[in-house]
Amino acid sequence: MITQEDSHVQHVKTYFKEYTYDMFMMNVTPEPEEMLLFSNWVDTLNNERINSFEAVRTSAQTTEVDLVRQNGETLHLLNFSSYNYLGFSYHPEVIRAAQDAVAKFGLGASSSPVISGTYGIHRALEDKILEFFGLPDRGVSLFSSGYAVNLGVIQAFAKPGNCIVLDSNAHMSILEGAKLSGAKVKYFRHNDMGHLETILQEVCDGYTRVLVGVEGVYSGDGDYGNLKETVQLAKKYGAYTLVDEAHSVLVAGENGRGVCEMYGVLDDVDLYVMTFSKGFGGIGGALLARKEISRYINYYAKCRMFSCALDPAVTGGMVKALELAASEEGRVRRRRIQENADYFLQLLKGKVNLGVSNSWVLTVIYGNDKNTLDLNNYLQRKGLDTSIMQFPAVPKNEARIRMFVTSEHTREQIEKAAAIILEAAEQFNFLSN
């Protein structure tokens, strides 16, 4: 029998789950109250056994993983929450190359890349990137994180008096780089070329330099950037383009050169940003640009200049990952990831709302933000690990389960995952009518 008191406690818990992390982000008073409250919130989620975030993995990001939640519980899960798209993070040849590099160069680079932190292995990676893209006359700037590439490149490329026009779904690293630059920042509606053109018309005469920032694959929706028209418009109005291929480099395009290759605009993009943490399976990132731009970025991107160079082990691993991506094995893995994504979509199509995704970043929109904690907890307890997203990361009441399909998932794993999603859809009432 449920007493009135039990009912009240349940209601209070329900209300508590409605908090989102942004509600703790600011406080007007001197006390760090927002930090205390946020910490308190996390403790409560742990105590109620519904906190599925920051759980510890006990092995590599393979397609099935064991994890330990913050409250000590251990779960065995199908892994659709890692963007190790081509499985290179645990590829034996990549690991061996990393081991060889660490044995030769040591653990860390121990200096800024412009002082004494650039090793032979870094130069090898730069050369390998130019070779992979078939653009030998370009330059490469290596960074120790993907986030830092956008932060440093945009801050160095644009200045006060310039204008940066960004897709409204652009990644936080692009937004923060734009803010750091001191340039005027404007946003156009996601993939809306009419809106982009309206803004370019407004700004092209009033600012000394205009940079348009977009992505190859948008990580929140899993859709492709409209790169062909973006590049055409930028050229028409004399603007520069930055394309972040974080989720598409090595994966999209016949040769793995990204969505720019798919749309035939690789030669026309001014600033090509890649991340090593996804298709490459490592950490870090790089800018591919005209030689004089990359040389300038090496010195004027402050987070590069004033950070230690990329670590040798990862750099060695990335060289090998690029070799693999350029080989027949790379082509096979690229084909397989697309087949896997298509198969997963086919299993769910017409049964749940799949949003606008047409890549290996799959979304299932469950809508109600208030279900997020319970739904994620449910999915993990059923054996599926995903990357769940709610407001403010996505629009209000358009909360979604995001899944990263990899080339290494088996058909059986995909079928199991789809079955869990459909069970959850029934349980949480988000099956399509």
In the complex, which residues of this chain contact other proteins (CB under 8 A)?
8, 11-12, 15-16, 19, 23-24, 26-29, 31, 33-34, 36-37, 40-41, 44, 168, 175-176, 178-179, 185, 187, 189, 392, 395-398
Query: Could you tell me the smallest distance in angstroms from the CB atom of residue 157 to other proteins?
Result: 16
Whose Cβ is closer to other proteins: residue 16's or residue 299's?
A: 16
Whose Cβ is closer to other proteins: residue 37's or residue 305's?
A: 37
Q: Name the token pair of 410.
A: 């088996």
Query: Could you tell me the smallest distance in angstroms from the CB atom of residue 102 to other proteins?
Result: 37
Whose Cβ is closer to other proteins: residue 194's or residue 264's?
A: 194
Query: Could you tell me the smallest distance in angstroms from the CB atom of residue 150 to other proteins?
Result: 12
Query: Could you tell me the smallest distance in angstroms from the CB atom of residue 175 to other proteins?
Result: 5
Cα–Cα distance, 98 to 121 (Å, whole number): 10
Identify the helix (H) or strand (E) that includes residue 193.
helix 193-203
User: Beta partners for 140?
Assistant: 288
Cα–Cα distance, 323 to 234 (Å, whole number): 33
Spatial CA neighbour of 366 closest among 354, 357, 383, 380:
354
Q: Name the token pair of 9.
A: 């406690």
Cα–Cα distance, 89 to 95 (Å, whole number): 8
SS3 98: helix
Query: Could you tell me the smallest distance in angstroms from the CB atom of residue 40 to other proteins?
Result: 4
Whose Cβ is closer to other proteins: residue 48's or residue 127's?
A: 48
Query: Could you tell me the smallest distance in angstroms from the CB atom of residue 22 to other proteins?
Result: 9
Query: Could you tell me the smallest distance in angstroms from the CB atom of residue 166 to other proteins?
Result: 9
Distances (CA, A) of 160 to 96, 173, 216, 243: 46, 19, 27, 21
Whose Cβ is closer to other proteins: residue 3's or residue 29's?
A: 29
SS3 271: strand
Measured from the Cβ of residue 325, the count of other Cβ atoms closer than 10 Å reads 24
Whose Cβ is closer to other proteins: residue 38's or residue 343's?
A: 38
Whose Cβ is closer to other proteins: residue 63's or residue 371's?
A: 371
Whose Cβ is closer to other proteins: residue 148's or residue 265's?
A: 148
Query: Could you tell me the smallest distance in angstroms from the CB atom of residue 416 to other proteins?
Result: 33
Query: Could you tell me the smallest distance in angstroms from the CB atom of residue 9 to other proteins?
Result: 10
Burial class from Cβ neighbours inside 10 Å (0-12, 13-18, 19+) for residue 396 reads: exposed
Spatial CA neighbour of 71 closest among 97, 88, 53, 95:
53
DSSP assignments along 364-425, one per residue: EEEE-GGGHHHHHHHHHHHTEE-EEE-TTTS-TT-EEEEEE--TT--HHHHHHHHHHHHHHH
Whose Cβ is closer to other proteins: residue 41's or residue 296's?
A: 41
